[in-house]
Amino acid sequence: MLIRRFHVYLLSMLFVSISVSAVTYHAPIGKSQWYLSSSIFECSLTHTIPEFGSGVFFHEAGEPLKFYLQAKNNPLKEGRGAFVIESPDWLPGKVPQDLGYVDVVKSDRPITVTERNATAMIASLMEGMAPTFTRKAWYSDDSVRVRLNSVNFRNHFEDYQACVSTLLPVNFRQVERSLVLFEVDKAILTKEDFQVLDNVIIYIKADKTVSSIYVDGHTDTSGRRIYNRRLSKERAETVTQYLIDNGIKNDMITTRYHGERYPAVSNSTKESRARNRRTTVRLERGPRVLRKPKVEAEDSESLGDMRNG
C-alpha cells in the first residue's frame, strides 16, 4: 500500500512538472459542453475540447462501449501516452488515479479507450474528476495534454443511459451476412438458428435502408447431386418462410438454392462438411436491384436410396 501511494505521489509530481512545459487542451469551466446524439443504432456523448477537437463516448448497437479522441489536427506523437484521472483545479487534494498507458496513433482519432477504462472515465466524471491523456508533441519535445471537463456531464448522462437501453441487440455488420447450419439430411431450424434469424428480423424491421435479402441454401457432397439440390431448396425455403412468418415482406427476399456447388470449405472432413450444410442470409442496403433468377438444369439422377448432405 505504501509503495502504491508513493507511486501515485511521484506521478502527481511528474504531472506538476510536465504542466510547466506542456500544451494543455481543455474546456474552461464556463465553456464545458457535452452533446448527446441518440438512436436505436448508436449513442454518443460528445465533449467539445477547444482548439483540439472532441472526446466521444460511443456505444454502437451490438458492441461494447468505447471512448475516443477526435482531433481536428492531431498534435500527438505516435507511441504510448499516459492516462490519468486527475482532480480539477476546483477539487484540490484528491489523489490522481493512474490508469496506465494508451496507444497513440497517427490519425484524426489518435486515442481509443476500450470498455473497462471508458467505464472508469464515466465514473470519474460523475465524481467531478478530469480524465487526462499526456503524450509528446510530434513537432517538438513539449508534452501535449488533453483533458476532459466534468462540468455539465451529469446533466446529459441520464439521457445517454436511456439511449443505451434502447439500442438494438445487433448492428448491420453483425447481420449483413448470417449463417444457419443444418444437421445431416435435415432442413429443420434449431433454437440457435431462431436466435440468429430473430436478430436479422429485428434489424431489418428497424433499418428502412435494407432493401434486399438473399437467402441461399447449400449442402455438403454426401448425397447425389439432384437430391442435394432439392435438400438445399428445402433449407433455403425453411429460412425464407421463417422470415415471412415473422413479418418480413416476401418481395424483399430472393431465395436461391445451389446443392453442393459452392462449398464454403473443403468437404474432406466431418467438420468441414458440417460447415457446408448451411443457408446464408445476406442483406443489402439502398435501391432494390431486380435480378433475373439464375435457372440451373436439374440433374437426371434418380433419387433411390442414398445418404444425403
124-182 residue pLDDT tens: 999 999 999 999 999 999 999 999 999 999 999 999 999 999 999 999 999 999 999 99
Which pLDDT tens digit goes with each residue over 66-103? 999 999 999 999 999 999 999 987 777 788 899 999 99
Indicate the fold that domain 172-285 takes in CATH.
60s Ribosomal Protein L30; Chain: A; (3.30.1330)
* Burial class for 41, CB neighbours closer than 10 Å (0-12, 13-18, 19+): middle
CA–CA gap between residue 106 and residue 192 (Å, rounded): 42
In this prediction, residue 168 carries a pLDDT of 98
Which pLDDT tens digit goes with each residue over 18-67? 444 689 999 999 899 999 999 999 999 999 999 999 999 999 999 999 99
pLDDT at 6 over 90: no
CATH of span 2-165: 2.60.40.2540
The alpha carbons of the chain give a radius of gyration, in whole angstroms, of: 28
Which pLDDT tens digit goes with each residue over 263-283? 999 989 999 999 999 999 999
Say if residues 124 and 131 touch (Cβ distance below 8 Å). yes
The C-alpha cell 432442413 sits at 187
Q: What is the percent of the chain with per-residue pLDDT over 90, rounded to a whole number?
A: 80
pLDDT at 3 over 50: no
Instruction: Please tell me whether residue 159 adopts helix, strand or coil conformation.
Output: helix
Residue ranges covered by each domain of the chain: 2-165, 172-285
Which pLDDT tens digit goes with each residue over 185-208? 999 999 999 999 999 999 999 999
In this prediction, residue 43 carries a pLDDT of 98
Instruction: Please tell me whether residue 133 adopts helix, strand or coil conformation.
Output: strand
Strand positions, DSSP E, the chain: 22-25, 34-38, 42-49, 53-60, 66-71, 79-86, 97-104, 112-113, 130-136, 143-147, 177-181, 210-217, 253-257, 278-285
Strand positions, DSSP E, 41-151: 42-49, 53-60, 66-71, 79-86, 97-104, 112-113, 130-136, 143-147
2-165 shares its CATH topology with 172-285: no
- Read off the pLDDT band of 17 (50, 70, 90): very low
